[in-house]
Amino acid sequence: SQFADRPELDIHWGDGNSNTIRRTNGLPDPQGIPFGVMIHPDIKRNEYVFSHTYPGPNPGGQPYVVWMQDPNRNEDVLNINGGNSVNIEFYLQTEVFLFPTSIYGLNSSPILLEPPVDFGVVGQIFQHNPNGYDPDGDSVAYELISPQSDVGTPVPGYQPVSDIAPGPNNNFNLNVRTGLFTWNSPQQAGLYNIAILVKSYRNGLYLGGIVRDIQIEIVNANNTPPQLQIVEEICIEAGTLIEFDAIASDLDIPVQVCTLTATGGPLLLSNSPATFTDVTGLSPISSTFRWQTNCNHIRQQPWQIVFKAKDNFFINGGNTDASLATFKVLLIKIIGPPVQNL
């Protein structure tokens, strides 16, 4: 897919200005441009870093819309334009609100911690979670939307994934609080796209949204998803140590190699961060989540950790990924200690 690669990208800032930005991650290619990082066979992560200064607060209270557009999506996406998707534009955007900091404080967009590509198997539950983390502790909510091809323009002929080979066993839902998308279950092999708007709020005030466009590849295979054991909700007083084992297992025979990972805001903190070591090995596997909390971790919204157990199943001589993943979301509410010495 070298012709689909983008060593540079046009970014529009929403204030009438734009810049062409070169890729900034990975080792240099023969032209001296960083190559990007391969995260899967034929799938690369490209980063484009640039600084832009806006002229002032949002005009008319409307956000600055930062956007990029690519002339092509992957071909044969079943739920876009009847599968004729290759000449449909790929589009992403982020809304930027600029506020007087004396009134609203600082504001950062949510960081999406899970890559926007996943794999599934016909007849088996598929799950994905963008896992939005807001560094400011703002509330994050999720909404399914149509993938976009331009500013305010949905792709033509978009269908929900359940419209492809529909039936009583083909349903999906999105948890608007945690971002967990569950499809139970795909009935036809092929490529699919979904889009999720990741929104942030502070005291009921909308602070902007990020469009996350996700590619799902479904194949025919004899595989079942791993099982994942964790506690899913904790409420503790600041200063309490949280420590438990997450356990992933796979019931398929022969025994499969599994990978157990965790992502979330507590793992990114500079002040007493949580720890979790990603592990890979023959099922069952486990790793310990540990977080020594303190009063700096008190906030209105729960902290979210997303655990992911993924098997390593390939077919067609190892050329086709038929792996499955199970997600579990842990919400941690940290409250202040009680009043003492009154």
User: In whole angstroms, what is the distance from residue 138 CA to residue 203 CA?
Assistant: 8
Question: How many CB atoms neighbour CB 124 within 10 A?
Answer: 18
Report pLDDT for 334.
97
User: In whole angstroms, what is the distance from residue 116 CA to residue 111 CA?
Assistant: 13
How far is C-alpha 135 from the chain's CA centre? 15
| Contact by Cβ (8 Å): 118, 216 | yes
Report pLDDT for 1.
66
Q: Quote the mean pLDDT of the chain.
A: 94
pLDDT tens per residue, range 2-17:
778 899 999 999 999 9
- Sign of torsion over alpha carbons 95, 100, 104, 108: positive
| Average pLDDT of the residues in 77-89 | 97
Secondary structure of residue 161 in the 3-state scheme: helix
Q: Are strands 285-292 and 241-249 parallel, antiparallel or unpaired?
A: antiparallel
pLDDT band at 220 (very low <50, low <70, confident <90, very high): very high
Report pLDDT for 318.
85
Secondary structure of residue 319 in the 3-state scheme: coil
pLDDT tens per residue, range 276-318:
999 999 999 999 999 999 999 999 999 999 999 999 999 988 8
Secondary structure of residue 331 in the 3-state scheme: strand
pLDDT tens per residue, range 240-285:
999 999 999 999 988 899 999 999 999 999 999 999 999 999 999 9
Residue 268, CB half-sphere, CA atoms under 13 Å: how many?
16
| pTM, to two decimals | 0.93
Does residue 37 register a pLDDT over 90?
Answer: yes
Report pLDDT for 80.
98
